[in-house]
Structure 1
Amino acid sequence: MNERIKIVINNLEKRKIPAKYFSTREEAEKEILRETKNFKNIGIGGSMTIMEMKLHETLANKDKNVYWHWLVEPEERDETRRQAANADVYLTSTNALTENGELVNIDGMGNRVSGMYYGPKKVIVLCGVNKICHDLVSAMDRIKKEACPPNAKRLGLKTPCSITGSCNDCLSEERMCNVTVIINHKPMAVDLKVYIIGESLGY
């Protein structure tokens, strides 16, 4: 663990958000399985990090009920989002994590970010080292350049960023930058933890 990550973890814990560092995704997965051992219902917020880790498959193989709207038909997505938001454990990632310990996220619908601070009993946020930023300004810059455009392209959205690769602060009907949330401190009603993984994961 390098000095920068130590600073991030220290600042998260100052904000009453427990944090751990794992060198590899495999190490993080073992800890998640331990954390979820006594829980049946697992919700997942849209996350390429979790998709790349195939955590949903691992959890399903452990006989967990996994609620993730990415895995169901369009007509089932709203109900699945609600089930995820009320699950025992909610897993997701973050678009950016500042050195000062702030979690910064931009969402299209808002279900992912709302699940991070209200609803589930336990929330675990997974963050690859590629998402650590110096401050709030660089965090927003990262999201607008490295997270939203490739995600819009992946989803086939008709937004300027999906074509140009950079944010135009558009007013497109398919705009995905609709809800911006900064978690400055542990939310009152949620057991929130952050797992930093020493790999480049997600957008």
Structure 2
Amino acid sequence: MRIAACLLAAAFTLSGCQGVRDSLSGPQPNPGPCPNALSLYDAYRVVNFAGEEIVHRNVGFTGEILNVVSNCTYSGRSASPIDMEMAMRLAFGRGPAAAGDSHTYDMFITVVRLDPQRNVTGVIHRETFQVTARFPSGRDRVELVEEFPSIRIPRADETTSGSNFEVLVGFDLTDEQLEFNRSGIRFRVTAGQD
């Protein structure tokens, strides 16, 4: 399993490097920076419980965003949009109370506008999507890479740079799941002890 995860990470890293190389060897450099792409802290993980009690034996399916990478190009020098491509590496788990060998996770991607102090001033676009993780027999963890090849961000004029925007991703959580994430509770498995 570790070899497969390493190969997946290596392939992901190499494909990300190719996109960066293509940008560097392009005909013209970007006239400004790319927007930040990142996971929203409160929504970077999801833990589903089967039952009311928050204990390890009730943990069903889990998910976590491990990494987010992106690249962008300005379509032209005028007020043309910024075109982004983004990918994220996800880890999924199958806890003791999980039923079945697959689970579909609800996620979101949001493009926000920022003021000069980096405060969010508005949502430009938000959409939800689903990612299905399949767990082969005998496996309780899998990793996937989800790619977004085309994110287009409009600019008001040629002085509007990518630093005026952020692209946020996360799991689309219920109020209870959000409260659990904010609580900071983690489960540690005791291994190798009597």
TM-score by length of 1: 0.24
TM-score by length of 2: 0.25
Question: 1 or 2, which has the higher strand percentage?
Answer: 2
